[in-house]
Amino acid sequence: MGRSAPHATGTRRDVRATVINCTLKPSPQPSNTEALAKVVMRHLEGHGVTSDLVRAVDLNLLPGVESDMGAGDDWPGVRAKVLDSEILVIASPTWLGRPSSVAQRVLERMDAMLSETDDQGRPVAYNRVAGVVVTGNEDGAHHVISEIHGALGDIGFTAPGQAWTYWHLGPGPGPDYLDDERGHDFADTSARFMAANLAGTARALAAHPLSPPPS
């Protein structure tokens, strides 16, 4: 139901990341969430990680909790990218203090991974690490981070410490990330820590992978 767990290749170019931008804005509209996600990708590149960016709203991700919902469903292609990566980053704006509806759709589609195993009997998300990027002109970033990390942990991903970054300017409406330079230093520093922790943990798991759950 998925490729074997990642393994070390002995080079700094042995780690791949899939970044799923869960903005509500279809391309080519500018996305604040994508702008911050690209900061993380730039830092990941500094650790030898090759990243692939997916804007989920541009795809036809059918509602459901199966890996393939049939004709016209674009999720199988996204799922293949996720399972071909050692790192997954979910990037979401904050709406009404919560993750976007697109982020919820992505997580619901990943629910199927709970029952899918690799060729060694491990859940397919094992030995993969996950991080979260959040933007919004209202408070709620920590809540969004905790909801997404919690869901990914249930599925089997490993969340390193400080594997997140966010940007907002406090409670209430305000400017967007692309329109205001305030707070960018904090977001960039957090992105730098996030990238280092994701890359380091991915390589640690490649060298010492988790075993299948005891039967």
Q: What is the pLDDT along the chain (215 residues), one digit of tens a residue?
A: 444 455 443 444 489 999 999 999 999 999 999 999 999 999 999 999 999 999 999 999 999 999 999 999 999 999 999 999 999 999 999 999 999 999 999 999 999 999 999 999 999 999 999 999 999 977 899 999 999 999 999 999 999 999 999 999 877 778 899 999 999 999 999 999 999 999 999 999 999 999 988 87
Angle at 61 between CA 56 and CA 65, to 5 degrees: 120
The pTM for the full model equals 0.92
Say if CB 27 and CB 38 are below 8 A apart. no
Q: For position 6, what pLDDT does the model report? A: 55
